[in-house]
Chains A and B, each alone.
Chain A
């Protein structure tokens, strides 16, 4: 068991190093110069003032040393929790900007991932044994899972937001409010949260429902299901076994889908101008804010890796077959 997790941890650590390195490299290969941007923003008229200002900004952003030093410094500061200074929101530290945005993204992601997984599995399992549900849920699920996140988001915003007027279509809370702990504010948060959540939920839901339906049908044809039926076990017991066994591939699917779901959430946030990480990424790219972009990506990488690790652990707990592999075959 310890060797298994040791190996897993090593793989995750390696992935982390590679991801962070890429993450550091990519903004630096992007066209554009953030310092120049800062300078134009301040619109200095005196040409002589430009040189010292450039030196100042390069020093602040750590761009005045050779690349390899920048890279090492990046790692060192990473472990000190220092992600640099944002260009876009200068002089706010990147870490603070991200911490402000993370609750919004998590509030979208966690419920939509978990609820869609749970509901998709339930509905898929039901569809596997109810003809009428299969005939209705399956085509709907196929349509949903084939829908791009942002397109469904736009449809929902138009249908439920603009035409029906039930929900606001942009922002994390009403523009007339400022963040505070009051019922009115929480209500506004929930109202703004609902549409982006719904679009993420629906797309993911379709995929899980289709997967579960097919897995259950496969499991119910399995030898153990036939044997139990021949021994007069009630359908309930057989379905329970089939459901539990079919959940295992779905769990692996969840691990694989996490990255896709996160990306989907980012796009959805942009559609709804929701103040989460996706929104930050867009702003960071438009403002050539290397440091913010790096910081957001880093956060996503850590999140996906941690979630995968968690699923690895859960998998070991629920599937005895993985455990035998760890001890060597008996």
Chain B
């Protein structure tokens, strides 16, 4: 088992009180697994991704633990985390286009970063060039400044740089959001290839794009309002979802072959609850077509079938 997250709680501190962006999240990611994390904006998926590598200064670790290969990750301690970053846990940020220092040649930037970790650039260079070639970039890009590359090229440079030390866990935060569909597919395939070649052991792909994550992820985890709603192998989530939220989410996707001139795409009415004072019980209750009295009590996140966990009173019973 590579990554084990138990009862993780991370709050955003605001002047009007804490926003409970992650409110008790437990799951594990196996070695070699690509896990997709999906959900609406504000469900806590990005917070989860960030929590595993670097809390920003508004975020506060309130409770829960994260272990990677049996070792506890000190996620609340920014300095202590430095030892794990890049080598054990790495990140491909949402803003890959602007993630490189504009005034430094890419090769120099990589050299600076490696030197800061006590690694020789010269010794890493052959592997670096090999991986750049793998994503279709010539060695020459190391002599370039970021502005001399296209957006897609920068994205690939970041992909290679983030995984250069073969991290055990890679967090890919909305990596495809800013790309056009054909580039999205190329990036998604590269992620899978990097896993297959062992450049990355396990991956957490945070996205709102279910159809994309379905193509690359082994497992999909659906989040809602700071909690886990459902977690199952990708095809199970897409074909036989049990949580009503997952069902509505999948139902809201356009189908291939369907003519939407005849019927309108459906969405999920309402919006997620505010997380400063989240409602008691099941947080999806207000929008759920199946809600009943028992939903005032918080449903446990239980395994209803093999590798299939759901937090809903109606599921599996």
Q: Which A residues lie at the B interface, using CB under 8 A?
A: 222-224, 226-234, 237, 241, 244-245, 248, 318-321, 324, 330
Contact = CB atoms under 8 A, between A and B. Distances in A.
Contact of A230 (B53, B117, B148): B53
Contact of B117 (A222, A232, A245, A330): A232
B103 A320 contact: yes
Contact of B116 (A230, A233, A324): A233
Given A223-B95, A324-B148, A230 B101 contact: no
B113 interface: yes
Nearest to A231: B86
Contact of B147 (A228, A229, A318, A324): A324
B90 interface: yes
13 contacts: A222-B98, A226-B95, A227-B91, A227-B95, A229-B54, A230-B93, A232-B84, A241-B103, A244-B103, A318-B103, A319-B103, A320-B145, A321-B147
Interface string B73-107: 00000000111111100110101001111111100
B93 A226 contact: yes
Contacts of A229: 54
B164 to A, nearest CB: 9
A243 to B, nearest CB: 11
Given A231-B91, A233-B113, A324-B147, A241 B85 contact: no
B162 interface: yes
B112 interface: yes
B104 A232 contact: no
B162 A231 contact: yes
Chain B interface residue count: which class? Answer: 20 to 34
Contact of B85 (A230, A321, A330): A230
Given A223-B98, A245-B103, A228 B148 contact: no
Q: Is the interface of A mostly helix, strand, loop or mixed?
A: helix
A222 B102 CA distance: 11
Contacts of A230: 53-54, 85, 90-91, 93
Shortest 10 CB-CB distances between A and B: which pairs?
A232-B85, A227-B99, A223-B98, A320-B145, A223-B95, A232-B82, A231-B86, A230-B91, A232-B86, A224-B101
A231 B147 contact: no
Interface in B136-167: 145, 147-148, 158, 161-162
Given A232-B85, A241-B101, A321-B145, 15 more contacts: A223-B93, A224-B101, A226-B56, A227-B100, A228-B101, A229-B54, A231-B162, A232-B86, A232-B117, A233-B113, A237-B113, A237-B116, A320-B102, A320-B103, A324-B145
Contact of A224 (B82, B85, B98, B145): B98
Contacts of A245: 101-103
A224 B102 contact: yes
A248 B104 CA distance: 13
A236 to B, nearest CB: 8
Contacts of B102: 224, 245, 320-321
Nearest to B97: A223
A152 to B, nearest CB: 35
B85 A231 contact: yes
Contacts of A222: 98
A178 B104 CA distance: 54
